[in-house]
Amino acid sequence: MSYPKGTIIRNSTPARLNHWLTAACFVLLTLSGLSMFHPLLFWLSSLFGGGQWTRAIHPWIGVVLFVSYCGLIVQYFRDNIWRREDLEWLRAINKVIVNKEEGVPEIGRLNAGQKFVFWSMALLVPALLLTGLVIWEYYFGRATSIETQRIALLLHSMMAIAAILVWIVHVYAAIWVRGSMRSMTQGYVTAGWAWRHHRKWFRDLVETDSPGPRPITNERGRK
Amino acid sequence: MSNLQSQDYIRISATTVTPPAARSWEDQVAKLIDVTRCIGCKACQAACMEWNNLRDEVGFFEGTYDNPLDLDPHTWTLMRFTEYENPKGDLEWLIRKDGCMHCEDPGCLNACPAPGAIVQYANGIVDFISENCIGCGYCVKGCPFNIPRISQADHKSYKCTLCSDRVAASLEPACVKACPTGAIMFGSKKDMTDWAGERVIDLKSRGFENAGLYDPPGVDGTHVMYVLHHADKPSIYAGLPDQPKISSTVEFWKGLLKPLALGSIAFGVVAGFVHWITAGPNEVQPEDEAEANHLLASKGRPTADPSRSIAEETP
Ligand code: HEM
Ligand code: SF4
Ligand code: SF4
């Protein structure tokens, strides 16, 4: 991938492929899962070739999602570690939400909202896998007691709803903040975008003469 | 069973509209299993296999009379034997015919996500319509009696149909027909309840002071009922639940959670839309690009060509 002159690389090609595999799995899981969750949405199962196919394929997509999300965790967890400025940023959330940038503290590669999405999913996806395995009738229908399965099924559907809500926040943020979509499709942002939204990250990149997405660290552990 | 619709539905799984309800002049039926008269001959089990064309694989002898050991997609009814020592120290051989109880408030039907995979007829019989079943196993979690079994071969759920096909043609269920002692009776729920009352009086007069009818109110009664010598402790009959009811976990999952979940998803989407038309998009300003380019240039890094604004074409 070649990037236009003067732009900043925000997401590497492997990270973007990994992201879209995760996204595809998540959307398919949401559609197939919701079709089994509410009678009003059962028609969604037609998208998968009917109820039997929906039931059969959903857990397998879930397994792919889990593996795929693990890849995202490996690639993004360092930039999602909680920092002091995140709290200050959260205090200024009322400004952020109405697009006022003055007085909002400078932040690194990811802001508190993005970190919230990341860690929520880092919790929910493995928990969905675990409860999903318990209610996977074909392989594990007899592995646990029926009472355990009842609880797992309730937890699975509640956590799925939570994950879908987090996902709505995530998708809306990508639509709202112009230029973020391109950072996940073509991988780059303009310098102005980096300056406006992640100034600390931008300064670190410039200081270490890094094209992005991360500052260059030398052997002495400088940024 | 298949969907002949020779009888009328009063309940249909995973349906938000009212099932056809015009033809409502139908008697509620019940099968009465008089455990006190059962001799454990398994004629009913054989009759069930024969009428429904079911042949389970030959299993293994495990030192009990239970054969096969459990219900299965090919075994819809099963005699369960218990050697019970009563308080007087005498041995009682309790033999219970296990199978679907045809609950008036069926947990399996409440839990099922597939429209029309489980139905309840106006006469009370709960039937699985295999062509609509998706094999998810939710009915197993919904049932308080541990009855449905999912086939590993065709991913469909199976259980006793109460011979809905025979009943629709005014025949009694096959097990009823086969029983040599009259321990299994079939008729209207009222007649069966009355008959059970007579049996209970008789049993009490013969020293079984706790004899009674098992028609558990927790599931609004059942269309398969037992006469028990020890109705005060059903669980001694191979784990018959003392107070069966649909699990509160299942009730919450299929009750409050459904509207709550759809409501909160809808709220999320609407909130996003309202934000979009009130606050609007967050766009990079020319000042941002200028400041950023200034910093880049100060480090001798290339900057974007100002005549070609990348920011403008941002999707
Ligand atoms: C991570 C691995 C996952 C596994 C192994 C898994 C497995 C399962 C299984 C076995 C079922 C029962 C139906 C069937 O057999 O297909 C189910 C239902 C469901 N799943 Fe998943 N799933 C996973 C992830 C997800 C995700 C990420 C979502 C959505 C965000 C989701 C949403 C649902 C929903 C809504 C249901 C229906 C629950 C209900 O009927 O109340 N699942 N899942
Ligand atoms: S006993 Fe179980 S399978 Fe039979 S009607 Fe009741 S809930 Fe359904
Ligand atoms: S397995 Fe049970 S709950 Fe699932 S669709 Fe079939 S009958 Fe309904």
Of B224 and A2, the structure prediction assigns the larger pLDDT to B224
State the pLDDT at residue B308. Answer: 56
Q: What is the pLDDT of residues A99-116, one digit of tens each?
A: 998 889 999 999 999 999
Looking at the predicted structure, is the pLDDT value of residue B207 above 90?
Answer: yes
Looking at the predicted structure, is the pLDDT value of residue A222 above 60?
Answer: no
Q: What is the pLDDT of residues A64-82, one digit of tens each?
A: 999 999 999 999 999 999 9
Give the count of Cβ contacts less than 8 A between chain A and B.
185
Looking at the predicted structure, is the pLDDT value of residue A129 above 50?
Answer: yes
Q: Which residue has the tokens 């009063």?
A: B10
Ramachandran quadrant class, B184 (left: phi over 0; alpha: psi -120 to 50; beta: rest): beta
Strands B149-150 vs B184-188: parallel, antiparallel or unpaired: unpaired
Between CA B90 and CA A172 the distance in angstroms is: 72
Residue whose Cα lies nearest atom 7 of ligand 2: it is B143
Q: What is the mean pLDDT of chain B?
A: 93
Q: What is the pLDDT of residues B269-312, one digit of tens each?
A: 999 999 999 999 999 999 999 999 999 999 989 998 765 555 54
Greatest Cα pair distance, chain B, in angstroms, is 106
State the pLDDT at residue B277. Answer: 97
User: Is the Cβ pair B114, A191 closer than 8 Å?
Assistant: no
- pLDDT bin (cut points 50, 70, 90) of residue A1 is low
The whole model's pTM is what?
Answer: 0.94
Looking at the predicted structure, is the pLDDT value of residue B3 above 70?
Answer: no
B146: its two tokens: 């541990």
Ramachandran quadrant class, A8 (left: phi over 0; alpha: psi -120 to 50; beta: rest): beta
The domain segmentation of chain A, as residue ranges, is 13-98+112-186
| CATH code linked to domain A13-98+112-186 | 1.20.950.20
Q: Which of residues 148-207 of A touch B (CB under 8 A)?
A: 149-151, 153-154, 157-158, 161, 164-165, 168-169, 172, 175-179, 181-182, 185, 190-197, 202-203, 206-207
Q: What is the pLDDT of residues B89-110, one digit of tens each?
A: 999 999 999 999 999 999 999 9
Fold classification of B6-246 is Alpha-Beta Plaits (3.30.70)
Query: Which is the closest atom of ligand 2 to the Cα of B107?
Result: 7
Active site residue A170: yes
Looking at the predicted structure, is the pLDDT value of residue A159 above 60?
Answer: yes
Q: What is the mean pLDDT of chain A?
A: 95
Where do runs of H (alpha helix) occur along B87-231?
A: 107-111, 138-142, 164-168, 174-178, 189-205
Taking contacts as CB-CB distances below 8 angstroms, the residues of chain B near A209 are 299, 301
Looking at the predicted structure, is the pLDDT value of residue B21 above 80?
Answer: no
State the pLDDT at residue A207. Answer: 94
Nearest by CB: A196 against B252, B280, B284: B284
Looking at the predicted structure, is the pLDDT value of residue A59 above 60?
Answer: yes
Q: For the residues A85-105, what does the mean pLDDT come to?
A: 93
